């Protein structure tokens, strides 16, 4: 389902490219702050770590008054993880709830901890060293092995106000940075200096470049190569408030509108070690059911069950693998969650259909949105009101509008709200035995803005409306609070949009008086946790949940897709960077809408997209109701490409399942940048047109129109063509090699010294699992004497089955 801002009309008219955007709000006319001095620092003898006290040097009025006294807590939590936590010394402040993201608590302010004076200038752990200066207070994090500086706050001033926090670090020009999402990065996976990086979960289409999108992941990986030796580390600022992150190439500055400075430093030094350490903190990626690694088909616009049955039959006739069939909101009664349309999806017929596909091993997933229709005859609404589970504004449930019309939003920070949600899912599962759930629109998306009321003079929703995304409530903007109009304007939606624009008002409140201003970017995360609890308790199996909005730790509960993309060649290319970024974020089960969500893709584009999409960790074709049908069997040529690429995917299911296990146990991304396996191959640091599945399977797709060859880069060694093992690429350096890529073929290669498990494939993963295994063992080849500089293709028999 599209976002409220990506209706077909909006997609056609309002896609904004933000490449030349600058942060006018980031350049105040007066000095924002003068920093702090360290007045004392002691070592905590009970739980370990350092406890320091900071005093403001001089106040300013820019962005509000400074907090005069801060409390510093520093601890080596593990041998390769360092935490630096700075907060108000006198008043409690908002932090990401510890029950949502379990982690160690700092010692409470004012506690009588047993301490001793700390007189050293450095605080060393096994891998990292924390050092500091007292006046002004700055700190440095260094690598113990070689003294390399990883983070240095002395290049800027620490500012700590109620609604504005600022801190900077110096970076060497040679550092390659990755992460800080979610956004669509036109320059590829490596962060570009001067591009905007704003983090605030927002329902705008992924076709908007360099803008805050559906998820908030304030973490970056820093990869450096000095003296021919690569070393990586990562930095997480665990904060759910909106922020701008300014990257100049030699400095990186955080400008955050609330919360605390809660930094975690991960020593690495390999990229794989970084994600291992990161996911050890935020939660290991959820293990996926085997069938989830198969191919998925969805469309917004399967208007009745007969259409869905025809899609399943179409795949079967075309001999294209299909494991999972999906419904967007078409199955619902008037777009209401946990209901069935009695005319188009009558329960007896739907149950019969599910019985038939389940007997074959296929699965069925449906969408649910968080907005609950305000309808006194609707049981879900009635039970929610009785249990008081909705987000409030001025003491009443906050009124918004989404697909069913007027809605209230459940509060997943409320224990009663979670229990109610778990119960509603159980009730729905009794109605329809779905195999997974798709939670969408959970940034949260709202078709209206501000304080709204039910209209007195017209219907809402408008009967028969063709534009249900147009606000029909009576609304007025909320501008009288500092939460709705904070002193610093982050670059929301790429245009400094009000924080409450097309979402929940930021002065609305959650359970316990928690402000939406603080918790906004946690909404999808908290919904995923509640949904995971429901499905796990209900089925006793690994849940499958697909979530659009994500936060730090979401990967422990859900998969992700990259949202509303466009069926064109640049979006095909952009998808690779976003998929790779989510691997860094601890969400390895990720993919983009194959062939594009909107508008109509060309036949050639869909050929190339299924070839790439067959190797996304999460592989799904999905489209908008206004687009022509684009199932893979619609075109004969696309069906041929699908049989070829998906045929290989289904043979590789044992390998993909192994990667899923590795992700769950160590955080290792399923789809990885090439530098993960070849960190000293510096030419790959910005490579965003190829990627690895696991450690050694290289995917090199065609990403441009009217091309039957592709230029690909291979780290030195022997790379065997997985479709024809008698062909190999022997690479000596970083030069590109041109490979043949006819319309129906994609280049996938396996690296030397690999043992690759495969089976014989099938139309469904259940069928493929029952076939005999094959092991591919790939040996390095000696390059021929007449081999040219760079690389060559070669015919060989040195890969063995």
Active site residues: 440, 443, 564
Residue 23: name the closest of 192, 245, 256 by CA: 245
| Residue 263, beta-bridge partner list | 84, 237
Contacts of 51 (CB under 8 A, 6+ apart): 41, 42, 43, 44, 71, 72, 73, 107, 113, 115
The DSSP H or E segment spanning 221 is: strand 217-226
Give the ranges where 361-461 is alpha helix by DSSP (H): 379-387, 415-431
Laid out side by side, the sheet with 717-721 consists of: 671-672, 691-693, 697-700, 747-751, 717-721, 727-731, 791-795
Cα separation, 373 vs 6, whole angstroms: 21
Query: Beta partners for 373?
Result: 407
Task: Report the phi/psi class of residue 69: left, alpha or beta, with left for phi > 0 and alpha for psi in -120 to 50.
Answer: beta
3-state helix, strand, coil in the chain (%, to 5): 25, 30, 50
CA distance 243 to 261: 12
How far is 580 from 573, CA to CA, in rounded Å?
12
CB 765, CB 653: distance < 8 Å = yes
Residues 6+ apart with CB under 8 A from 437: 365, 366, 367, 368, 425, 531, 535, 543, 544, 545, 546
> How many C-beta atoms lie closer than 10 Å to residue 187's C-beta?
15
Collapse the DSSP code of 75 into the 3-class scheme (helix H, G, I; strand E, B; otherwise coil) and give the result.
strand
Helix (H) or strand (E) holding 584: helix 569-584
Find out whether 10 and 507 touch, Cβ atoms under 8 Å: no
**Would you say 217 and 180 are in contact if contact means Cβ atoms under 8 Å apart?**
yes
Neighbouring-strand partners of residue 325 = 297, 364
């Amino acid at each position: 389902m599209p976002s409220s801002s990506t209706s077909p009309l909006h997609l056609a008219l309002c896609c904004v490219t933000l490449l030349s955007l600058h942060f006018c709000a980031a350049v105040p006319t007066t000095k924002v702050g003068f920093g702090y001095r360290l007045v004392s620092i002691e070592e905590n003898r009970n739980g370990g770590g350092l406890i320091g006290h900071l005093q403001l040097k001089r106040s300013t009025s820019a962005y509000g008054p400074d907090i005069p006294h801060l409390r510093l807590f520093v601890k080596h939590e593990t041998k390769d993880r360092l935490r630096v936590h700075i907060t108000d010394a006198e008043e409690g402040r908002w932090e990401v709830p510890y029950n949502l993201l379990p982690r160690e608590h700092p010692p409470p302010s004012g506690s009588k901890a047993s301490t001793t004076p700390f007189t050293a200038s450095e605080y060393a752990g096994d891998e990292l060293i924390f050092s500091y200066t007292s006046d002004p207070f700055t700190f440095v994090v260094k690598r113990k092995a070689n003294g390399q500086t990883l983070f240095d706050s002395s290049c800027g001033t620490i500012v700590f106000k109620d609604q504005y926090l600022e801190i900077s670090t110096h970076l060497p020009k040679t550092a390659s940075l990755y992460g800080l999402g979610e956004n669509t990065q036109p320059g590829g996976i490596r962060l570009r200096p001067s591009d905007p990086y704003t983090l605030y979960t927002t329902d705008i289409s992924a076709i908007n470049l360099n803008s805050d999108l559906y998820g908030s992941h304030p973490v970056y990986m820093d990869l450096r190569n000095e003296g021919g030796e690569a070393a990586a580390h990562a930095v997480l600022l665990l904060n759910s408030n909106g922020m701008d992150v300014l990257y100049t190439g030699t400095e990186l500055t955080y400008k955050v509108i609330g919360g605390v400075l809660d930094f975690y430093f991960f020593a690495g030094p390999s990229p794989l070690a970084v994600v291992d350490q990161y996911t050890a903190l935020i939660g290991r990626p959820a293990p996926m059911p085997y069938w989830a690694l198969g191919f998925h088909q969805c469309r917004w616009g399967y208007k009745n069950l007969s259409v869905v049955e025809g899609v399943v039959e179409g795949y079967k006739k075309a001999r294209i693998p299909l494991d999972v069939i999906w419904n967007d909101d078409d199955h619902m009664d008037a777009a209401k969650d946990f209901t069935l349309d009695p005319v188009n999806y009558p329960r007896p017929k739907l149950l019969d259909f599910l019985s038939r596909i389940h007997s074959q091993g296929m699965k069925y997933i449906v969408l649910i949105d968080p907005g609950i229709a305000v309808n006194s005859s609707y049981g879900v609404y009635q039970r929610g009101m009785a249990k008081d589970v909705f987000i409030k504004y001025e003491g009443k449930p906050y009124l918004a509008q989404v697909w069913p019309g007027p809605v209230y939003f459940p509060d997943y920070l409320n224990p009663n709200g979670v229990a109610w949600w778990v119960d509603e899912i159980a009730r729905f599962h009794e109605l329809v035995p779905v195999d997974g759930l798709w939670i969408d629109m959970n940034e949260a998306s709202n078709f209206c803005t501000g304080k709204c009321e039910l209209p007195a003079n017209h219907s809402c929703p408008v009967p028969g409306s063709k534009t249900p995304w147009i606000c029909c409530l009576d609304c007025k903007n909320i501008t009288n609070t500092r939460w709705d109009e904070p002193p610093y304007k982050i670059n929301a939606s790429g245009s400094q949009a009000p924080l409450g624009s097309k979402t929940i008002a930021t002065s609305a409140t959650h359970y316990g008086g928690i402000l939406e201003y603080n918790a906004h970017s946690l909404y999808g995360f908290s919904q995923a946790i509640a949904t995971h609890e429901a499905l796990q308790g209900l089925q006793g199996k690994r849940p499958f949940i697909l979530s659009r909005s994500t936060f730090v730790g979401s990967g422990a509960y859900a998969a992700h897709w990259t949202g509303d993309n466009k069926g064109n060649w640049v979006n095909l290319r952009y998808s690779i960077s976003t998929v790779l970024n989510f691997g860094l974020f601890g969400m390895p089960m990720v993919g983009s809408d194959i062939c594009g969500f909107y508008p109509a893709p060309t036949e050639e584009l869909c050929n190339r997209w299924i070839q790439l999409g067959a190797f996304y960790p999460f592989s799904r074709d999905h489209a908008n109701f206004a687009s022509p049908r684009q199932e893979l069997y619609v075109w004969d040529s696309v069906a041929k490409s699908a049989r070829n690429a998906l045929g290989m995917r289904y043979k590789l299911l044992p390998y993909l399942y192994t990667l899923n296990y590795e992700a769950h146990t160590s955080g290792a991304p399923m789809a990885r940048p090439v530098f993960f396996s070849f960190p000293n191959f510096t030419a790959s640091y910005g490579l965003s047109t190829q990627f690895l599945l696991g450690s050694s399977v290289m995917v090199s797709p065609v990403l441009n129109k009217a091309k039957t060859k592709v230029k690909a880069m291979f780290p030195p060694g022997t790379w065997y063509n997985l479709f024809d093992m008698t062909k190999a690429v022997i690479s000596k350096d970083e030069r590109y090699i041109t490979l043949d890529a006819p319309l129906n073929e994609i280049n996938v290669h396996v690296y030397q010294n690999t043992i690759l498990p495969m089976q014989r494939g099938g139309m469904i993963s259940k069928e493929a699992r029952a076939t005999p295994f094959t092991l591919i063992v790939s040996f390095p080849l000696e390059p021929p004497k007449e081999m040219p500089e760079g690389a060559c293709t070669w015919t060989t028999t040195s890969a063995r089955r």
